[in-house]
Amino acid sequence: MKTKPIIGFIGVGLMGHGMAANILKGGYTLYIKGNSNRTPIDDLVAKGATEVDSPKEMAALCDIIHLCLPNSDSVEATIRGDDGILAGGKAGLIVVDSSTANPTSTVTLAQELEAAGMHMVDAPLGRTPKEAEAGMLDAMVGADDATFAKVLPLIECWAGIINHVGPVGSAHKMKLIMNFISMGYAAIYAEALSVGVKSGLTPQVINDVIGASRLSNGFFDTFMSCAVGRDMEVHKFSITNASKDVHYASAMASNVRALNPVGEAVKSYYTAVEAAGHGADYVPHLADHVARMNGFELAEAVKKGAK
């Protein structure tokens, strides 16, 4: 009987908690390391996970380690630090990075891991914490064919749609393209609401007309559920994370000398809101901040439009 690999998971936050919980449901032995928030850690321990103190300790115990971290700096520290994965891992260990990261950093880390006999897979995510809990995230995977085959059963625990997009680094590139589009949508929707309201339209009319047209999509529905429906918790993805992602996308464009003026405009909105101290707000809240830049409160316009 084939033995299941032993799994580690570092970063059990909004997305990582659901992913880790579904790995446990898949029958895997799971070691976890979280941050300051004890709630998801305690919940996973109660479900059967074992907490460890460092990535180094985890690397000595596990066959595959998942990372779901805020940015490339934290991924690099987790892998390269004195108590990091490279310090404790053995040959054959696979690191699956589900963070949205800088592809250049990813490729460099993959080379460093390969030199130590280990392997890197980039597997960034699509969708929200709701789908993470349901085991129905989208996954883009960058890996060679042999390594992809090894991690596929594990990824199937938490993903409903899985695309093997190419070698290591390619999935992080694809994720940046996806987030450039989605964060661009958010900036356009926020700006459109402000222009429309200042022109005399109600937020409800803008939502209803576009929502019933071919311009509608799932992201539009979620964004407007917040901006117009005032469900402020509907999409728990922070402005800080969005800003990081569009900055990474801008850097990727610059690295290949690609024209990216729309990306620069999108980036400016997130940079401005983050710089104003609102980075913890969620992406659909961008509509409220852009409205304030235009001299009005979107919530008041929504109330007025309902009369």
**Which of the residues are catalytic?**
175
Given phi > 0 = left and psi -120 to 50 = alpha, else beta, which region is 295?
A: left
Residues 6 or more apart from 241 whose CB is under 8 A from it? 70, 100
C-alpha to C-alpha distance for 284 and 287, rounded to whole angstroms = 6
* Sign, CA torsion 62/63/68/71: positive
Record the tokens describing residue 274, joined without a space: 């983050």
List the one residue out of 201, 206, 200 whose CA is nearest residue 220.
206
C-alpha to C-alpha distance for 86 and 138, rounded to whole angstroms = 28
Backbone φ and ψ of 195, nearest 5°: -65, -45
**Residues 78 and 55 sit within 8 Å (Cβ to Cβ):** yes
Give the helix/strand (H/E) hosting 137.
strand 137-142
Counted residue by residue, the chain has a size of: 307
